[in-house]
Amino acid sequence: MSALEPSDVRLAGLPSGGVAEGGILGREHRALSFGIITVVLLVAFEATAVGTAMPVAARELDGVSLYAFAFSAYFTTSLFGMVVAGQWADRRGPLGALAVGMSGFAVGLLLSGTALNMWTFIAGRAVQGLGGGLVIVALYVVMGRAYPARLQPTIMAAFAAGWVVPSVVGPLVAGTVTEQLGWRWVFIGIPVLVVFPLALALPATRRMAAGPADPSAPPAPFERRRIRLALAVSVGAGLLQYAGQELRWLSLLPFVAGAALLGPAVVGRRALLPHGTWRAARGLPAVVLLRGFAAGSFIAAESFVPLMLVTQRGLTPTMAGLSLAVGGATWALGSYVQARPRMEAHRERLMVVGMVLVALAILAAPSVLVEAVPVWVVGVAWGVGCFGMGMVIASTSVLLLKLSAPHEAGANSAALQISDGLSNVLLLAAGGAGFAALGGGAVSGAAASASHPGAFLVVFLPMGVVALAGAFVAGRVREG
């Protein structure tokens, strides 16, 4: 999760310097802050709205067995977009990647909204992910270039606070539109909102963060090797996801091919991730690995929460989405806590505590499979988990920028997002395979069904274990 309305600055609890001269809403940064925060607001609204409409879309397109693929397709293509955006931003500035990314984001939504079958719907999610990958890395580079180090925790807290309104309004609007007009209008309506963020963000980015990191140096060419590795990661992750969904002996072929493509790209000597990432080496490698453990476990679990509430407890899409609404506020609160100056010395401890809270939330969510457990338990658990995620995700972003030289900000930001996106794909693939293997894909119809509770347990329980492993990695983010 990651933004903030001007009138909400005081309510979000930002440090008092946020509105003062020289703060993120001071004269120097005001236009840029409004612009990029509006972009994040749109991304936040899309995430909460689409998550609410997805169970109905999958059911009507006869694609519940491919439910996880509809989420992971976004993350798969975003991996490629992230690497391209990192090189693009370091060499020519983040402006182009931001403009192209937002446009692709809108085109993907339109493609999904007009899909006649599940595979076309998934293709739209893939196009959307490519645009999203460009956008997220471009925003990190803008933040690293335009804001001094003292303001970076504050702008990250503002990003998180921007999820508060969409997390409440998004499910309500999306659920109402889905029930009254149909799920397609959720996807088709969002692209209209892209125009306003672009009109705000692009001029401010051009003024404050355009051009290469070192204008005096000759422009460096794109590293074709990294582009090839990024393509290998995306194709490999997609093959692994496909193999996990098909569950046939022939699926071993795409599984082996996917693993062969991923290996050199993520663990080789010239991989896209920092050397030592997979052994949680102290400093930047541990930060990058932690981001993957946190985001992957949480997103993989959260993707199945609305489906679980709709199919197992009979909630409407609106109510299923609103059950997670409190998470936006607690995520912002967690991000605010890490932004306090006196917390800097305790950042490592905050991240450990945050990951423990995430694990507890994931493990508590499937308790609603028992009819006697009220559904509000999911809302409470997810609020706790989002508080932990707010501390962890914002802290990994702050530490990454602190550990990166200016000319490396794009590449390292891309590595952070690759870890994020790749873990989402792999853990969604694993969870989706288990879900389908235990009959989760057989759930159909509008009525609630409790026929396959084990299909949901095999998603949530392993993700809780991954989150606990993240608590160990969080203890290694400080350089030795």
Q: pLDDT (tens digit, 9 = 90+) per residue, 218-268?
A: 666 667 777 888 788 888 877 877 776 666 777 678 888 888 887 777 776
Which of 365-369, 446-450, 456-460, 474-478 bottoms out in mean pLDDT, i.e. has the lowest? 446-450
More confident position, 276 or 468 = 468
Average pLDDT over residues 62-91: 80
| Model pTM score | 0.67
Residue 233 contacts residue 262 (beta carbons within 8 Å)? yes
**Buried/exposed 213-236: b ≥16 CB within 10 Å, e otherwise:** beeeeeeeeebeebeebbbbbbbb
CA atoms within 13 A on the CB side of 433: 17
Residue 168 contacts residue 323 (beta carbons within 8 Å)? no
Distance CA 138, CA 353 (A): 30
pLDDT tier for residue 382 given thresholds of 50, 70 and 90? very high
Average pLDDT over residues 212-222: 63
Average pLDDT over residues 61-76: 77
pLDDT given for residue 58 in this prediction: 83
pLDDT tier for residue 8 given thresholds of 50, 70 and 90? very low
Whether residue 17 has pLDDT greater than 60: no
Say which residues have a Cβ less than 8 Å from residue 171's Cβ, sequence separation at least 6. Answer: 48, 49, 51, 52, 318, 320, 321, 322, 324, 325
More confident position, 479 or 145 = 145
More confident position, 241 or 187 = 187
How many CB atoms are located within 10 Å of the residue 7 CB?
Answer: 7
